Amino acid sequence: MDKEIAYGTGLLAWLVQRITGLLLVIYLFIHVWWVHFPGVKTPFDFLINTLFLPGRLATVNFIMIVYLSDQKVYNRCPMSELGNNIKNLSVKYDSARYNFFKWRFESPALNKVALAFAFACFTGILAQLRFYLPYTPVPVTGQVFAVLLSGVILGKWYGGMSQGLYAGLGAAGIPWFSEGKAGIEILSGVTGGYIIGFIFASLIIGWFTDRYLRTRSFAGLLSLMVLGIAIIYLFGVIQLSLVLGVNIQKAIELGALPFIVVDIYKGLIVSAIAAAIIPRKPFGNEMG
């Protein structure tokens, strides 16, 4: 009897942990994308504002839940038939994600180019999710989310290729830059540096996740996301400074500081997704 009660308690904690994590992920998406549009409010934000709970607390809770999930809490629950079924499902999931990345690593170049083009399209779609802040010419868009994820999913060369295709085909005339724009003038304008930065950010994130197993923990992935965001800002701010003719400090105020919180939210979400899908065991030529 005591064993069954302990098992039930452990299983309940396991379910609550994952449901809460899912709800927080949904909340973060809604908070980042919809609450910032004028006139749009959500029940989530009404509840948060009513309880005077800072958004930072939601972020901390989200990190804690993902971390606990990463430790496979169910392994500490007493095993019964249901517990074994849960563990078997986890084993099958681990096998599926390993097989996907193994397939991606060993696939012919044509398949990898197709995946890169698909992620270029995904970046173009998220570029249309945008809003402007009153004090900067650079819009807040969804592109960074796609860029960070492309490095994890596609790896070093083809993650960078996906963003190269996005930049090159957009410059050639495909209207998938922000606001449905296209043309070489976008790459030479105030936002062009960020688009160039996408290529290098995805390339570096993919290089680390493909090569070093220790970067595949949630903490390691979050560090890579922050690095990727910094690379995007570096290219973006330098070009913004040149195009507007302002000093670097002013360019940082216009082109980096307003977006840090939103981009860190994106990095948190991508880190959680990546930690859930990328295998911890080698599928290629990784180091420890």
| Same structural domain, 133 and 276 | yes
**What is residue 131's three-state secondary structure?**
strand
Maximal C-alpha separation, the chain: 74
- Give the total number of structural domains in the chain: 2
φ/ψ of 131, rounded to 5, equals -155, 155
Quick one: pLDDT at residue 278?
81
| Same structural domain, 271 and 194 | yes
Q: Are 153 and 119 in contact (CB under 8 A)?
A: yes
Task: Name the pTM for this structure.
Answer: 0.69
**What is residue 39's three-state secondary structure?**
coil
In a domain, 85, yes or no: no
Q: Are 194 and 127 in contact (CB under 8 A)?
A: no
**What is residue 287's three-state secondary structure?**
strand
How does pLDDT run along the chain (288 residues), one tens digit per residue? 555 444 454 555 555 555 655 555 555 555 544 444 444 444 444 344 433 344 444 444 444 444 444 545 445 444 455 566 666 776 777 777 777 777 777 788 888 899 999 999 999 999 888 777 776 777 778 889 999 999 988 887 899 999 999 999 999 999 999 888 899 999 999 989 999 999 999 999 999 988 888 888 888 899 999 999 999 999 999 999 999 999 999 999 888 888 888 888 888 888 888 888 887 777 766 665
Q: Are 104 and 151 in contact (CB under 8 A)?
A: no
Tokens of 167: 């930049």
Its domain, for residue 286, covers: 96-288
- Separation between Cα atoms, residue 150 and residue 152, nearest integer Å: 5
| Same structural domain, 176 and 252 | yes
132 secondary structure, DSSP code: -
Residue bearing tokens 């949904």: 26
In a domain, 89, yes or no: no
258 secondary structure, DSSP code: G
| Same structural domain, 61 and 100 | no
Q: Which of 154, 93, 85, 92 is nearest to 123 (CA)?
A: 154
What is the CATH number for 134?
1.10.1760.20
In a domain, 235, yes or no: yes
